[in-house]
Structure 1
Amino acid sequence: MKQLLDFLPLVIFFAVYKFYDIYAATGVLIAATAIQLVITYLIYKHIEKMHLATFAMVTVFGSLTLFFHDDAFIKWKVSIVYALFAIGLIASQIMGKSALKSMLGKEMKVDDRIWAQVTWYWVGFFVLCSFANIYIAFNLPLETWVNFKVFGLTALTLINTVITVVYLYKNMQDDNSQPTDNQ
């Protein structure tokens, strides 16, 4: 249910874009993301920081897109979000606290060296997606960018999630071994 709720604004954005235009889709994306927050809170009694950050970015860049009637803002949002994810992972790694370990460490007991490898893998992924988005957004037709944003980035993220889970699972420690605390 939660994953469906996470993708709902993106699906609605795509549908509205196909029937109307980027500006109608952007307005609906802002509204759908706000509704997503409300529904998430009503169901789970908690809103994750990532959802709040996403809502803030969608609202700011979406509003700029609508106000200036310039789709460049909503296109930049995608790259900025991915860049911020990369920066957040780098910062957590530098501070000696793997953000990925804090999210998944209870379910997957692996050595801190593995968490560091996975973190840097995702940093690279986010940077690559950020630059790919910039290239596609500003060098290819809008239709191509929308399809890339909705299907390409979603598929790439799902594929990388599967790769990560398989890698973590392969490197899981048994219950008798002691995980290390070093990053």
Structure 2
Amino acid sequence: MKQLLDFLPLVIFFVVYKLHDIFWATGALIAATLAAFLYSWYKFRKVEKTMLVTVVLVAVFGGLTIYFHNPEFIKWKVTIIYALFAGALLIGQWFFNKSLIQSMLGKEITLPQPVWRKLNSAWALFFIACGLLNIYVAFWLSESLWMNFKVFGLTGLTLLFTLVCGVYIYRHLPPEQNNNESKQ
């Protein structure tokens, strides 16, 4: 349910873009993201930090896109979100010796510390790469191609990277947890 809630504003953004233009789509994205945020708060009585960051950046950069009638703002939002996520992962690891990936998954999965650090670094590098790819596609290719890349390319890359990380995690699970996972 939560993944659908996170993905729905992106689908609405894409559909409205195809029916109208980027400015209408941006308005729809702001409304859908805010609605998802409020629904999440109402349903679960809490909101994840990533969702809070996303709703603020969508509102700010989306608002700037509409106000100045300039789509570059909403295009930058993607890279800024990726940069913030990568920065948080790296700062946590380098300055606080804490893997944020472990903080999110450590209650369900037991892994050695070096594996958590590698996963944390891998996700940070993935976010940096996605941010840089977004800059290239957003500012050197057409708006329509950027929209398709944002919806299908980045989503596909994220799903693929999640799958690769899942395989990596599975290979490093302790034998008893690995056996429990395969029995379920």
Q: Could you tell me the TM-score, scaled by structure 2's length?
A: 0.93
Q: Distance in 1 between matches of 2:49 and 2:123?
A: 19
Q: Residue in 1 aligned with 2:119?
A: 118
Q: Distance in 1 between matches of 2:38 and 2:134?
A: 29
Deviation of the 1:49 alpha carbon: 1.1
Q: Summarize deviations over 1:89-117 as a string: whole Å, max 9, x none.
A: 00110111100000001111000100111
Higher relative contact order (CA 8 A, sep 6+): 1
Q: Residue in 2 aligned with 1:19?
A: 19
Secondary structure, aligned partner of 1:109: coil
Tell me, which stretches of 5 or more residues in structure 2 are unaligned?
A: 178-184
Deviation of the 1:175 alpha carbon: 5.1
Q: Distance in 2 between matches of 1:75 and 1:60?
A: 12
Question: How has the CA–CA distance of structure 1 residues 167 and 84 changed in structure 2, closer, same or farther, with 3 Å as cutoff?
Answer: same
Pick which of 138-147 and 42-51 moved more. Answer: 42-51
Look up the equivalent residue of 2:121 and give its one-letter code.
W
How many aligned residue pairs are there? 176
Q: Residue in 2 aligned with 1:61?
A: 61
Tell me, which stretches of 5 or more residues in structure 1 are unaligned?
A: 177-183
Deviation of the 1:165 alpha carbon: 1.3
Pick which of 27-36 and 166-175 moved more. Answer: 166-175
Look up the equivalent residue of 2:130 and give its one-letter code.
C
Q: Residue in 1 aligned with 2:181?
A: none
Q: Summarize deviations over 1:17-58 as a string: whole Å, max 9, x none.
A: 000000000011001001001111122111111111100000
Q: Distance in 1 between matches of 2:6 and 2:33?
A: 9
Q: What RMSD in Å do the two structures reach over aligned CA positions?
A: 1.1
Deviation of the 1:120 alpha carbon: 1.1
Identity of aligned residues (%): 50
Q: Residue in 2 aligned with 1:40?
A: 40
Q: Could you tell me the TM-score, scaled by structure 1's length?
A: 0.94
Contact 1:108 1:169 in 2 (8 A): no
